[in-house]
Amino acid sequence: MADKLYLVKEGEISLKGGNRNLFEKRLRHNIKDKLRPYHSEINKQKGRLYAYIDEAAPDAMIEKALSTTSGITGFAKAHRAEKDMDAIVRCAASILPGAFSEKGSFKIAVKREDKAFPFSSRDIAVKLAEVVHGIYPELTVDLDNPGNTLTCEVRGEAYLYTSESKAIGGLPVGTAGKGMVLLSGGIDSPVAAQMMAKRGMKADAIYFHAYPYTSDEALEKVKKLASLIAPYMQGMRLFVVPFTDGQIHIRDNGYEEEATLMFRAAMMQTAERIAKEHGAIAIITGEALSQVASQTLDAMSFTDSMTDLLVLRPLVGMDKEDIIARAREIGTYETSILPYEDCCVVFSPKHPVTRPVKEVSRRHFGELGMEPFIENAVRDTVVYTFDAAGKEVIDG
């Protein structure tokens, strides 16, 4: 077998009862999908997934695939040895050089699942510690806070590894239905999208573009964000909705203080159309309570009332700092802070209403007669497709 082997830990799936198989099947499918065009085979034994992946697949690609797949809490590239003490020692001797730092401490972690193996965990640890000392004479043992760890698992075979990566946890994408995320060029909405993907939700994205008030660069930025989110979503489409005429109509015919609210209401109704066309039953936004005028309880209550769809706001209780930290973790922050303005900024009133009265704002929205603008916008929407690796698919 010339395949690479990765040991993959499931997270919350392991708590599932009757549907567990469905979740696991989806997880395996998602991982394999991300590793294409390379061949992979994923087996399961005792709460562990064993991913056998074509030797030709680059480690960096595999690591990116596993670290963007929800449903996994961690993974390690493992080396196999026969279940035989000499073979285990030889395997350790071959993988250790270069794997540990020269100075500091280490620990041998042994998981002896096969209770018939004739050596105890302690026996194995002592033998392997000797190997470590032979190669790294300056390292000391520290069981509580080791600088380096060599893990040996004795199961069907023996598996050895020197580093373990954390993954995102959650549940596999495709197990929680479909949504549409309102993706702006900001920091918040990509984080909101990733958080729902982490809970197993598949979503496409919608961006309202007000060219030329928002530039081509702003669109490129949103496309870039979509490509960064796509791996978490196992691939994603981006619907770009031209909304300049609608924006101008609101600006010229509505109350200035309500402009943002009216635009948000129009966004909800447009998104609802696109969502229904594509089988999505929820809208996801990057709103956080009271972060800006349109995100007060009253304002959100108003925008909520403009659609029948469930509106999910996964960031609602988060501080900006926490959101930024997550944006850094998932790799969207640097793109989000590029300076191109989004359309809300361009059309923002100086003194926005923060406590709209729902019934009054709903009436004002009705008086604007947005229907034809929404219809045109949906009709002229342009779709971009990104695959599970985040690459744009042309002619998809």
User: Rule CB under 5 A: which residues touch Mg ion?
Assistant: 184, 186, 342
The per-residue DSSP string of 284-304 comes to E----TTSSGGGSHHHHHHHH
- Of 174, 203, 227, 201, residue with least CA distance to 388: 227
Q: What is the largest CA-CA distance in the chain?
A: 83
Cite the DSSP H helix spans in the chain: 20-35, 59-67, 85-95, 121-135, 188-198, 216-229, 244-253, 259-277, 297-304, 320-330, 333-336, 343-346, 358-368, 371-379
Binding partner of residue 189 among ligand ATP, Mg ion, none, CB cut-off 5 to 8 Å per kind? ligand ATP
Query: What count of other Cβ atoms lies within 10 Å of the Cβ of residue 44?
Result: 13
Cα 346–Cα 349–Cα 352 angle in degrees, nearest 5 = 135
Binding partner of residue 208 among Mg ion, ligand ATP, none, CB cut-off 5 to 8 Å per kind? ligand ATP
**Is residue 186 a contact point for ligand ATP (CB under 6 A)?**
yes
Which residue shows structure tokens 């197993």?
200
Q: State the minimum distance, in angstroms, from the CB of residue 310 to Mg ion.
A: 22
**Is residue 291 a contact point for ligand ATP (CB under 6 A)?**
yes
Cite the DSSP H helix spans in 230-296: 244-253, 259-277
Q: Which is nearer to Mg ion, 184 or 361 (CB)?
A: 184
- The CA distances from residue 368 to 123, 251, 365, in Å, are 79, 10, 5
Binding partner of residue 24 among Mg ion, ligand ATP, none, CB cut-off 5 to 8 Å per kind? none
Which residue shows structure tokens 């930025």?
221
Q: State the minimum distance, in angstroms, from the CB of residue 295 to ligand ATP.
A: 6
Q: Which is nearer to ligand ATP, 122 or 320 (CB)?
A: 320
Residue with smallest beta-carbon separation from ligand ATP: 186
Binding partner of residue 296 among ligand ATP, Mg ion, none, CB cut-off 5 to 8 Å per kind? none
* Candidate list 150, 344, 368, 377; residue touching ligand ATP; CB under 6 A: 344
**Is residue 184 a contact point for ligand ATP (CB under 6 A)?**
yes
Cα atoms in the Cβ-side hemisphere of radius 13 Å centred on 84: 5
Backbone torsions φ then ψ of 52, nearest 5 degrees: -95, 115
Q: State the minimum distance, in angstroms, from the CB of residue 89 to Mg ion.
A: 58
* Candidate list 207, 213, 232, 239; residue touching ligand ATP; CB under 6 A: 207
Binding partner of residue 374 among Mg ion, ligand ATP, none, CB cut-off 5 to 8 Å per kind? none
**Is residue 286 a contact point for ligand ATP (CB under 6 A)?**
yes
Q: State the minimum distance, in angstroms, from the CB of residue 247 to Mg ion.
A: 14
294-323: contacts with ligand ATP (CB under 6 A): 294
Q: State the minimum distance, in angstroms, from the CB of residue 185 to Mg ion.
A: 7
**Is residue 342 a contact point for ligand ATP (CB under 6 A)?**
yes
CB within 8 A of 190, min separation 6: which ones?
183, 225, 228, 229, 286, 327, 330, 332, 336
Q: What is the contact surface with ligand ATP in residues (CB under 6 A)? A: 182-184, 186-189, 206-208, 285-287, 291-292, 294, 342-344
